[in-house]
Amino acid sequence: MAAAALTAAAALLTGPAPMASAAGAQGGGAVAAYGQKTVNLKQEGWGDARSCVVYSKTEVRCFKTHGEADKALGYSRATDPLARSIGTRALPACASGWTCLYEHANGGGRRLIFSDYYWHNLNEYGFNDQTSSWRNRQSNSYAWLARDEGGNGGTISISPNSYSSNLGAYNDWASSVAA
């Protein structure tokens, strides 16, 4: 099943044209709550944040650890059905109903999390050309990775309830996501 999901998810397709997205301050960039402050992810970077959750176009929250973000989203690896069935550490962690993008292979590095379906410009989140693995835990929704906001660079279809621990030739390729 995992091999079929990976094969289907990695197929390069032409898809819908992405649109610009993130709620931003003057000069662009998604503004996120991080602890007691706000940070513009594009202009100021992530600092020591490891996970940022995009709740909506106007609400983004960042967390110092993946564990803090997992707790906020109600995720536990111990109760993750796929993690229990395949028992792999390479499985990217992601809460049910969300799509998670990771900076490194095997769900490593920073994580950017989405659940509302519209095109997000990853540059606005300081995550352009940095996706190396992903997991889609949306049970009925495809997600899409795209090379540019015009869709001219192509798109990758991400099947519902699927993951990729390593994007291979498409490592650090995506500049937008619809999830």
Do 9 and 158 touch, CB atoms closer than 8 A?
yes
- Residue 122 CA to residue 99 CA, distance in Å, equals 14
Q: Which of 71, 119, 18, 103 is nearest to 61 (CA)?
A: 71
The amino acid at 41: L
Per-residue pLDDT of the chain (179 residues; tens, 9 = 90+): 333 333 333 333 333 333 223 444 456 999 999 999 999 999 999 999 999 999 998 999 999 999 999 999 999 988 888 887 776 667 899 999 999 999 999 999 999 999 988 889 999 999 999 999 999 999 888 998 998 765 567 888 999 999 999 999 999 999 999 98
Q: HEC string of 12-31?
A: EECCCCCCCCCCECCCCCEE
- The pLDDT score that the predictor gives to residue 151 is 55
| Residue 49 DSSP symbol | -
CATH placement of domain 2-178: 2.60.20.10
Do 108 and 100 touch, CB atoms closer than 8 A?
no
- The pLDDT score that the predictor gives to residue 83 is 80
CB atoms within 10 A of CB 178: 23
| Residue 146 DSSP symbol | E
- Residue 73 CA to residue 82 CA, distance in Å, equals 17
pTM: 0.84
- The pLDDT score that the predictor gives to residue 8 is 36
What residue spans define the domains of the chain? 2-178
